[in-house]
């Protein structure tokens, strides 16, 4: 991770196909295309990769979450349960629809704690969104059972976990509706792009229409298409889709490299008595995009993170002090700093953030370091990195 590290002639060929015919838009202009429909081809490839009936491409992972929720009927005043540890896009996508993000604690999987989810359900709860952070997954069986028992929509944000599996099912394909990001730093990239994945025909039809101004996409004359309902513009371009088409065909190659590099790093750190690893639920296999480990306490994690940076160990993140990925520093959300007036419903729904604390999440994130696994490292570079990481942890930590 990310796929841009290994761009090749395969990506160039797909992009040149688009530039050759000149049609950069995914819809219409049939006569000019010379048979090239990159977005459609990519959707078919993703259906196979995700073992799902339907895939709808959109402009970003954030758009994928908003479109997925809207397609399932989530909107104004509805509550969507989500984790404290994710990217800011998770709550942005919920609030875009006038819905209310209800943040709850994570557990040692670094994803939603099922007990915290259960405790947060109210009469307004419409959906539960698990975010498969850093290449792994939550307790999917427990979360699905909670959603089924409470008639809630189960949403799976697998933007950081493409290539991971749970009980032989691809992450992103397990819940009622799943979301992916193909931005520039994902395991496969379109530059910018995302996808909604589902086996529900209604959700797919809604996503198909909603992401293109409500167009019904019936017939061959775009100007004659009707609009069964309101929609907005979340379209992907053919250029972005072309890059993704080459990249998704290389996904097995990328996952194999990630696994090899991840395994070297993990083996070195597993010998340290003061290092433990995130829990992967039984039956799950990570995408190996990140190596996540816990140190004994916050002080150790901060010190190790600092010394890593001083010694050239890059792309290792201590999210406790991170502005983008953890509730602790999301002041713009807590204080509702917005360019436009936020509805009273959402304001009222988010008042809990004025006093809410997340001690359980703090206990995990404070001790966690998450190291991105690059595709471009040579084996010697990984071995040297693993040795240096282990030596630093030995010398810095208090135990």
Residue 287 CA to its chain's centroid (Å):
12
Q: How many domains does the chain have?
A: 2
Check 38, 126, 144, 186 and give the catalytic one: 186
For residues 292 and 210, state if they share a domain.
no
Structure tokens at 28: 């219409």
- What range defines the domain where residue 173 resides? 3-250
Query: Any idea what the CATH number is for the domain that residue 190 is in?
Result: 3.40.640.10
DSSP characters over 165-216: EETTEETTSSSSEEEEE-BTTSSS--BS-EEEEES-HHHHHHHHHHTBTT--
> For residue 1, what pLDDT is reported?
85
For residues 230 and 257, state if they share a domain.
no
For residues 115 and 174, state if they share a domain.
yes
Query: Any idea what the CATH number is for the domain that residue 376 is in?
Result: 3.90.1150.10
Q: Which of 233, 250, 267 is the last residue of a domain?
A: 250
135-158 pLDDT per residue, tens: 999 999 999 999 999 999 999 999
Q: Is 59 helix (H, G, I), strand (E, B) or coil?
A: coil
For residues 36 and 180, state if they share a domain.
yes
Residue 399 has pLDDT above 90, yes or no: no
For residues 33 and 129, state if they share a domain.
yes
For residues 307 and 169, state if they share a domain.
no
For residues 232 and 366, state if they share a domain.
no
For residues 70 and 147, state if they share a domain.
yes
Residue 328 has pLDDT above 80, yes or no: yes
Cα distance between residue 120 and residue 118, in whole Å: 5
233-279 pLDDT per residue, tens: 999 999 999 999 999 999 999 999 999 999 999 999 999 999 999 99
Average pLDDT over residues 95-101: 98
Cα distance between residue 136 and residue 159, in whole Å: 11
Average pLDDT over residues 67-92: 98
Q: Sign (positive/negative) of CA torsion 46, 113, 289, 305?
A: positive
Residue position matching structure tokens 């160990």: 313
Query: 295 vs 39, 78, 325, 366, CA distance in Å?
Result: 44, 38, 19, 9
Q: Which of 195, 216, 250 is the last residue of a domain?
A: 250
Structure tokens at 329: 């520093």
For residues 151 and 188, state if they share a domain.
yes
Average pLDDT over residues 64-91: 98
Average pLDDT over residues 3-21: 97
186 is catalytic: yes
Please answer whether residues 266 and 385 qualify as being in contact, where contact means their C-beta atoms are separated by less than 8 angstroms. Answer: no
The whole-chain average pLDDT of the chain stands at 97
For residues 226 and 327, state if they share a domain.
no
155-211 pLDDT per residue, tens: 999 999 999 999 999 999 999 999 999 999 999 999 999 999 999 999 999 999 999
For residues 211 and 322, state if they share a domain.
no
For residues 310 and 373, state if they share a domain.
yes
Q: Which of 250, 269, 294 is the last residue of a domain?
A: 250
Q: Is 60 helix (H, G, I), strand (E, B) or coil?
A: coil
> For residue 365, what pLDDT is reported?
98
Confidence class for position 398, pLDDT limits 50, 70, 90: low
């Amino acid at each position: 991770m990310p796929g841009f590290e290994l761009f090749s002639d395969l990506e160039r060929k797909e992009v040149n196909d688009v530039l050759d015919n000149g049609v950069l838009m995914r819809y219409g202009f049939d006569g000019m295309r010379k048979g090239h429909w990159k977005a459609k081809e990519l959707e078919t490839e993703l259906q196979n990769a995700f073992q799902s009936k339907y895939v709808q491409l959109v402009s970003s992972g954030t758009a994928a979450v908003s479109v997925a929720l809207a397609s399932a009927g989530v909107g104004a005043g509805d509550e969507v349960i989500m984790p404290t540890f994710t990217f800011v896009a998770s709550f942005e996508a919920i609030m875009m629809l006038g819905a209310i993000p209800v943040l709850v604690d994570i557990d040692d999987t670094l994803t939603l704690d099922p007990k915290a989810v259960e405790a947060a359900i109210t009469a307004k709860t419409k959906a539960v969104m698990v975010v498969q952070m850093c290449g792994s997954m939550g307790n999917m069986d427990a979360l699905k059972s909670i959603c089924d028992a409470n008639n809630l929509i189960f949403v799976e944000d697998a933007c950081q976990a493409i290539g991971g599996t749970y009980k032989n099912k691809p992450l992103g394909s397990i819940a009622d509706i799943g979301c992916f990001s193909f931005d520039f730093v994902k395991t496969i990239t379109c530059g910018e792009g995302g996808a909604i994945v589902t086996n529900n025909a209604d959700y797919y039809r809604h996503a198909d229409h909603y992401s293109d101004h409500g167009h019904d996409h019936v017939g061959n004359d775009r100007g004659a298409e009707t609009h069964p309902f309101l929609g907005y513009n979340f379209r992907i371009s053919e250029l972005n889709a072309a890059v993704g088409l080459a990249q998704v065909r290389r996904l097995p190659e990328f996952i194999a490299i990630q696994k090899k590099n991840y395994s070297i790093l993990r083996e070195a750190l597993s010998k340290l008595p003061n290092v433990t690893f995130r829990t992967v639920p039984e039956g799950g296999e990570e995408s190996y995009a990140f190596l996540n480990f816990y140190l004994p306490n916050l002080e150790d994690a901060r010190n190790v993170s600092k010394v890593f940076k001083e010694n050239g160990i890059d792309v290792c993140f201590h999210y406790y002090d991170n502005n983008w990925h953890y509730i602790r520093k999301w002041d713009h959300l807590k204080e509702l700093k917005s360019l436009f007036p936020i509805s009273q419903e959402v304001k009222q729904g988010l008042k809990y953030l004025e006093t809410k604390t997340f001690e359980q999440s703090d206990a995990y994130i404070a001790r966690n370091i998450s190291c991105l696994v690059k595709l471009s490292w040579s084996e010697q570079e990984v071995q040297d990195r693993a040795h240096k990481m282990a030596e630093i942890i030995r010398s810095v930590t208090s135990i």
